[in-house]
Every structure is written in C-alpha cells, then in structure tokens.
Structure 1
C-alpha cells in the first residue's frame, strides 16, 4: 500500500526507530568539574553525530516536507545544533518535531523555531521570527513592528486618536538596559502594502501571564511536574512578544500558512501530533486569490477588468413538467393520434 500522506510516512518511519545509545557523562568517575563539562560536551557532539547519521535515512521525508525555498542540507545543518539538548527524547518524537518544523518551512535555529524537550518528548515551537516570516510571505504586509517597552522609555497610547498618532514610542537608548528599568509592555502593529496601518496590540505583563496560565499546556505540565523548563519559565520575554504577535494576527488578514502555523503551535503546546497541518497547495492558491481580490477591493480600483467579480450562482434547473390530467375521451383521442 502506497504511503501518500505525511502522517503515513512518519508512522512508517517511526515504528521501530533504532538509535545507538551514547554513554552518559554522569558515569565518568573521579572527574573535576571542568573535566565533567568537557565530557558532557563530547557526549553531546557524539550524540549529535549519531542522531544525524540516523536522520539521514529520512532525508527524502524532509525533502518532501520542505517548501521549495528551503533545501534539506540547510535544514539538517540547522537541526544539528539543537540535537545535543535532545539526547533523552524518543526518536519518534524527534523525527515528528523536525518534520513538523520542515513542513512549516522554518529553520530550527533558535530564532525562527526551536525543537525543545518536554521530558522525553521533542516538541517543535515556532518563535516570533517564524511568525514574522509567514506574515511577510503573504504579500499583504509591508512591515511589522514588535518590541518591549521598559519602564523609563517614553511612550503614549491613545486608542481614540487617529492613526498613527494613537501610539508613539521612544526607547531610552542612551540608558543601559538595567537603567531603562523592567519591561512593562509588549507592542505589535504592522503596515500593509495598501498603505494602511493595523490596530496596535498592547500586552501588559499581567495580560501575558493570563495567556500563559489559560492556554499554555506546556507551562501547566512544567508547573505540575516541578521541572519549570517550559519556554514561559526560561524565556518569558520572548514568549510575551510572541503572544503579542499572535494577537496581532486576529486583526490583520491571515493567510492559510499563518493559520496552519498557529494550529501546529497549539498542537505542540497541547501534546498532540504536530505533522499534517501545512495547508494543501490548492488551499494556499485559493487563499492567495481571495486576499488579492480583497486588496483590490480595498484599493478601490475602478478598472472593470480588475474589480472583484461577483460570485457565480448555480443556475436553477427547469422544473419537471407535471402530467396533464385528461378525460377518458381525451386519452382515447391522443392514443388514436399516436397511431
């Protein structure tokens, strides 16, 4: 039976994955702290080489999953740098996380996306830069502005004022980061290719914590287990920015790719399988055509050939003719005429 879907290929590839076990550094006897760290680094490098050799068996899977603008060599080179921290993850989860990352066209380089370990499970997490890349690829967004506001920065937010006077921000760049004070707000907005500016999204620390507590299953699992190793624990500010950017998606036109990225992000946070969320090529084409039509309507182009055309309506079928009721005399006459 042919394996047509990505999920089928992943399932077949991960039924009995076999990766050689690397001797852990903890068993090094009578080692100084420096020697132990050196052993751990050597272990990580050896484990990465071993896993890369294993992943090469599935190069064709990555090639099929990756979009045309990312080649498998670049992707696997970026993945290798993340492998030392994933030595305890199950091979099946590592392969699925990397395939989900490839399917979204992002590099697991720590900037666009990361592959992190939750216990023994590897999880793909798109970062803010990955969302930005998807927004730019839609062709509707000219520029995106996202950042953090410190306590001593100059800023003003007046939603009732006309754009762009409703939001002004002057970071106190002459001060050191410590002197600027703690981060108090995150902001995000974008300029569209049509020249319009989106709504400004502002998130306070309290807003970010509410989002974390309500929606992040990874944070809840880390709290319950006492490991405190989720990204909300280790890199709160980056997750704060990412939450602000995701909320911006609700007030700007979203492409099929952005919807798919949000879905795979939520799936990973909930502990679900992340592969299989990339929109089909036909869906991407339809979404692109819909966005183009919407942009033409926004621009108010008057050329009749470029105006959005009305939806075609299904033609109504003619009603089936009803039998004509006749008298016995009429039926006899009709039968005689047929003869």
Structure 2
C-alpha cells in the first residue's frame, strides 16, 4: 500500500524548531510559519517542488528566517526548474537597514525618461523631480541613498537602465515566468540600487550578531528529507544562507 505524501504543514512542522531557533526575537514564530504555509498553498509550483525537492524550499525558508523577513512580503520563494530560489525583496533590504538603528530614512526611486533628474558626485543627494500626473515614459535608471541619524548622507548609488539590465543578464532565474524580473521589473531596478547601497550602511545588528553564533539544530526525524537538503553555507557578514541556488547572481 502506497502511503500519501506528507502535507505542506507536516513537512514544514518537522523543521519548525529550526526556524524558531534562528528567527529574531521580534518575530512571532507561529505567525511566521502560518504566513509561509499560506504563501506556498497559493502557488501550485511551490507545492510541487516542496513535494519533489523539499531541500531547496527549506533552505530558502531558513534563509528568510535568519534574516527575520516575511515570506511573500519582504522575501520571495521563486520556482526555478525543480528548485526554489530564495530572493530578498528590496523592501526587505531596507528593513534590515532600519533595524540596525543608524539610518533615519532610505530613499530609493526609479527615474523615468520625462523626469527631471540631476546628480553629480559634488551633490549630497540627487535632485529628482518627476511629474507624478504625466506620462513619465520608460525607466531610464534608478538611485538610492540613506539619511543617517547623525545628520549625514550615505553614498548615493545611481545606476542606468543598461547597468540594471547587466545585473538581470547574470541572474540564472531571470527568464523564469515566476521570476521577479518578469513580474516586477521596477522593483528589481530598485533592488539593484538598494542592494548596492547596503554595502555602505549598517544592516540588522541583531542578525549580524546571530550570524557568528549559530545555534545547533536539533536532530532530524526524517533522514530522507535531510539527504535532499542543500548544505547551508552562512555568510557571516550578512547572515544569509548562500546555497548554490541563491548567490550574488540573483538580486532583487
């Protein structure tokens, strides 16, 4: 007699303790897991991959948990072939900047062809004046910077649309119909500049501290599931899980 495959909840429940161990203290673990299950249930491709290749799904979920980001909002599970790519949204990167406590405001905008835009390295920030009620034309670039609580302004990151397209071209999953590059190109343009900005401002202090003291996970109850899981490689500078499907080639 063939047994039924485990349900979404049963599969994720086996790792609930692991997620709880790494989630930042301001996150409610039960709510985080419920939201994640809801996101998976609404996408047949996610359900399929969870059943056939759960390791990549669970690795992406662990990455989101370590970052303290909500799946479906500030972090996305993107199907790519028979795997899951975990992608941090640009809003998630901004959230990590705010959590660190040094940033008072983050400014990130796309620039369209009809906008008035002026910036040079001698300026502390761009002069961007869009006409919100006119046809602004296609996107020609994007920029981001942070205002610091000490009154200073961070490095200003400015990228042309051609430079943003270069980032897209090196993304392995960009051509997938489920890729955020296909669904939300403006958001991806913003992530390109916000991700670059993150190199110049502090991000979540709590998360960076946790990255150097990873709590051991309890013993598994499902060896078959363990054998499919990608080994977790931790970036100690950011705390992100860097598995082979989610390295620097998949910005968002």
TM beyond 0.5: yes
**CA deviation after TM superposition for structure 1 residue 266, in Å:** 7.9
Q: Is 1:86 aligned to residue 46 of structure 2?
A: yes
Q: What is residue 269 of structure 1 aligned with on the other side?
A: 246
Q: Which runs of 4+ in 1 moved over 6 A?
A: none
What SS does the aligned partner of 2:101 have?
coil
Q: Distance in 2 between matches of 1:133 and 1:87?
A: 28
Deviations along 1:202-257, one digit per CA (max 9) or x if unpaired, are 1111011122224x2333xx4xxxx5543323332222111101111233345664
CA shift at 1:125, angstroms? 0.9
Matched, 1:249 2:209: no
- TM-score w.r.t. the length of structure 1 is 0.56
2:185 is the alignment partner of 1:236: yes
- Quickly say closer, same or farther: Cα 1:61–1:251, change in 2 above 3 A: closer
Which residue in the other structure is 1:134 paired with?
96
Confirm or deny: 8 A CA contact 1:218 1:269 kept in the other structure.
no
Contact 2:78 2:178 in 1 (8 A): no
- 1:195 is displaced (CA, Å) by 0.2
Residue pairs, 1:1-339, within 5 angstroms = 20=5, 50-83=7-40, 84=43, 85-89=45-49, 90-109=53-72, 111-161=73-123, 163-164=124-125, 167-175=126-134, 179-214=135-170, 216-219=171-174, 222=175, 227=176, 229-253=178-202, 257=207, 259-260=237-238, 263-264=240-241, 268-270=245-247
Distance 1:94-1:271 versus aligned 2 partners, 3 A rule: farther
Name whichever of 237-246 and 58-67 sits farther off: 58-67
**Is the contact between residue 62 and residue 241 of structure 2 (CA under 8 Å) also seen in structure 1?**
no
CA shift in 2, pair 1:56/1:172, >3 Å:
same
Higher relative contact order (CA 8 A, sep 6+): 2
Unaligned runs of 5+ in 1: 1-17, 22-49, 273-339
Structure 2 SS opposite 1:87: helix
Is the CA contact (8 Å cut-off) linking 2:98 and 2:104 kept in structure 1?
Answer: yes
Max Rg structure:
1
Cα contact 1:19–1:51 (8 A) shared by 2 = no
